[in-house]
Structure formats: C-alpha cells, structure tokens
Amino acid sequence: MSNQSSSAPPPAASGKYSTLFVSIDGLKVRKEPGLKSETVAKLELYEPVTFLNKKTEWTQEISLGYEKVTDHWVKVRTQSGKEGWVFGAGVHYYKMKRKGVLD
C-alpha cells in the first residue's frame, strides 16, 4: 500500500477512469448537472476529459440547434483538473464531431 497524498489525482494510466473526447465545440462544464448550474469551464472540440464514472439517474432533453437529444449528465475532470458535469451527448469515446449542432 503506497502512502500517496489523497489530494493528488490518480494517474491516468491506472485504468480506473475512461478518457472521453468532446464532440461539441464550446461544451460547458457545470458545477451541478443541469442547464441552470454555474459554468466552471468551457471545452473545445476533441478535447480529452476524464470520465469520473458518475452519471445522473435522470435524463434531460436539450436542443443542440438542429436536433433535440435526451441524455444523462456525466461527471468529468478537465485536463486542468476542474471537475464538473457535462451533458452526455457532448462527449464520446472517440474523436467525433456531433451532427445537428449549431456552430
């Protein structure tokens, strides 16, 4: 058992968390799940984030511009270490640009 400080984030290679990629340019990371919550960060298209294995029990329908999507909110950590919630439709397991989004 190593005696690491609990404030240090676990190494990315630990396999404990997955990396997701932002599929909507300008995706907002929010303090709490939901559109009314304060924005803590803004992400660029294809930016990698760490999925913290938490998602809301409930889903929300959000209009992305050209299409409406119903999805969960998921908890992520940005590369700069900020933690918060993003709409699940805005992240993906591989780099892709989501269709139906107003630029």
Question: pLDDT by residue (tens digit) across 17-55?
Answer: 999 999 999 999 999 999 999 999 999 999 999 999 999
> pTM of the prediction?
0.82
In the chain, the amino acid numbered 32 is E
Measured in Å, how far apart are the chain's first and last C-alpha atoms? 49
Torsion of CA 6, 10, 11, 14, to 10 degrees: 130
Contact 77, 8 (CB under 8 A): no
Tally of CB atoms within 10 A around 57: 5
Closest CA to 42 of 51, 57, 29: 29
Domain architecture of the chain: domains with CATH: 16-92 (2.30.30.40)
